[in-house]
Amino acid sequence: KQWYQRRVAITAGITNNLSSSTMTTPAPMPIETVVVHPLVLLSVVDHYNRIDKVSSQKRVVGILLGSRHKGVLDVSNSFAVPFDEDERDPDVYFLDHDYLESMYAMFKKVNAKEKIVGWYHTGPKLHPNDIKINEIIKKYCADSVLVIIDAKPKDLGLPTDAYIAVEEVHDDGTPTTRTFDHVKSEIGAEEAEEVGVEHLLRDIKDTTVGTLSQHLTTQVVALKSLHSKLQDISVYLTQVSDGKLPVNHPIIYQLQDVFNLLPNLNVPDLMKAFTVKTNDQNLVMYTASIIRAVIALHSLINNKTTNRAAEKEGSKKVQNMIEVEKEDKEEKEKDTKEDSNKKEVKS
């Protein structure tokens, strides 16, 4: 009887532990960052260009594949989906479910780790029917992410914007509505993808331009992007101060952190250190450009001297050939004259 009671207690403890372990299963972390790989960008641009040639459709739609790990969503692959919509009526649209399921089945056979994580369209902005399309995609992925990829970017910066659907609660007690919340997005690549992108960029980059000019060009582009971001911040703060937009405390806190990181340029020692460092960098760049110019002139002079020497040698060879040909002609003429004289003597 004691043995039976002990066995019952052990089994009850095991079931309690199992139930507690199932109850305390950690929920997946919310998506904080969406990393888009270069393969996805290339396939989306190719999809957009192919559709743009045959139809007047303003945007294309596709499915994103990838994996999720600790709040970071890696979008490593994608495929296009037949899509059409009425521009005048956002409620009228077509998305081919059968094509989606068949393509995902084939992709799953190739790489089972890549699962549906969301969908994309070429925007370039949010559309009124994006919420309804997102609800359809949620049948295949509970936490569906929308990534807007601008196939023809006009502004500086990343061509991607990531959004996730959330419930918006109203203060007046009205029912909640579905809306999109912005998620941080970035471009990331593995080592093999970086090598492939470098090979593709070899045909685009000018190999005659030096590394210094490329470095300066990238710095100018980065400064232009920073200037555009500062303009956006200024416009936002102006609208908040004028009462056109509500105060968003997380954004204000982040801006305050940014302003706190700025150096105090009113300190004389700091200004002197900045000027000394800038002058040192400019001196190095100036001397490097002078050395590069001297080396280029030296190589130019060497090329001219070698070309002149080659021309002289070539002219000498030509003259020698002409002289040899003249001597051969003279010998032949002498031989013909001697033969003619011998014939006359015999006759």
pLDDT digits (tens, 9 = 90+) for 190-204: 888 888 877 777 766
pLDDT tens for each residue of 74-92: 999 999 999 999 888 888 8
Report whether 41 contacts 149 (CB < 8 A).
yes
pLDDT value for 78? 94
Residue 315 pLDDT > 70: yes
Q: Residue 9: what pLDDT?
A: 44
Token representation of residue 339: 């033969």
- Among the ranges given (20-24, 104-108, 283-287), the one the predictor scored with the smallest mean pLDDT: 20-24
Nearest to 149 by CA among 270, 59, 280, 268: 59
pLDDT for position 196: 81
131-151 confidence digits (pLDDT tens): 999 999 999 998 899 999 998
Mean pLDDT, rounded, for 17-32 = 57
Position 331 scores a pLDDT of: 82
Cα separation, 67 vs 69, in Å, equals 7
**What are the tens digits of pLDDT across the range 195-249?**
887 777 776 665 555 566 777 888 888 888 888 889 989 999 999 999 998 888 9
Cβ distance 288 to 281 under 8 Å? no
Residue 13, pLDDT > 90, answer no
Instruction: Output 181 or 263, whichever has higher pLDDT.
Output: 181
**Mean pLDDT across the chain:** 83
With CA atoms as reference, report the closest residue to 39 among 71, 73, 65, 57. 65
Q: What is the pLDDT of residue 26?
A: 54
pLDDT of 177 > 90? The answer is no
First-last CA distance in the chain: 155
pLDDT the model gives residue 89: 87
Residues 135/143, Cβ–Cβ less than 8 Å: no
Q: Measure the CA angle with vertex 289, ends 284 and 290; round to 5°.
A: 100
Cα distance between residue 59 and residue 84, in whole Å: 9
**Whole-number Å distance between alpha carbons of 134 and 89:** 18
CA dist., res. 57 & res. 69, Å (int)? 35
Confidence band for 15, pLDDT divided at 50, 70 and 90: very low
Question: What pLDDT band is residue 347 in, cutting at 50, 70 and 90?
Answer: low
pLDDT at residue 40 greater than cutoff 60: yes
For 11-52, the DSSP string reads: HHHHHHHHHHHHHTPPPPPPP-EEEE-HHHHHHHHHHHHHHH
Please report, as a single letter, which amino acid is at residue 33.
T
